[in-house]
Structure formats: structure tokens, C-alpha cells
Amino acid sequence: MIMKPKGCENEVRILEALGQGVAPGAFEEPLRRHVAGCASCSEMISVYELFQADSRQLCAAAPLPNAGRVWWR
């Protein structure tokens, strides 16, 4: 359940799209135009992209145990 933000009315649509895995560049044209002109939505996308970049970096650096060791545990 996504709570309604107190900023722009389109934030809910953007959060829903991001939650479904839609990249900001793949938004529908009207929503992309809105994001380009709305400071609140642009900032939200920027924060989202920073979190995604951190997540990718942390996942790439995480050491994975040997599969045999996991199997025997």
C-alpha cells in the first residue's frame, strides 16, 4: 500500500510505476513531461535513482558463500 505523499498529486503515480519496476525514462510521455517540470517529482526520481545505484553497488560487493556450504547448512 502506497501512502499518499503531501507534495505533488502525481507522486503516487510515479511511486506506483517505480514500484512496478518501470524505469523513469520509460514513463508515459505526459508523466515524463510532468517530472521534467515538477521540482518535487524530479527530486523524488533523483533519490530513487541514488538508492538504486547504491543497491546495485552493494549487491555487487556482497560476498556469496560457496553453494556446497549453503547446501550442507
- pLDDT given at position 70: 87
Looking at residue 27, its pLDDT comes to 93
**pLDDT of amino acid 6:** 65
Q: Which three three-digit cell numbers place residue 17?
A: 510505476
Using CA atoms, how far residue 39 sits from 46, 56, 72, in Å, is: 10, 26, 52
Other beta carbons within 10 angstroms of residue 24's beta carbon come to: 19
Q: What is the CA radius of gyration of the chain?
A: 17
Measuring CA to CA, which residue among 25, 49, 50, 47 is closest to residue 36?
25
Question: What are the pLDDT digits (tens) for 16-50?
Answer: 999 999 999 899 999 999 999 999 999 999 999 99
* Maximum separation of any 2 CA atoms in the chain, in Å: 55
Predicted pLDDT at 2: 57
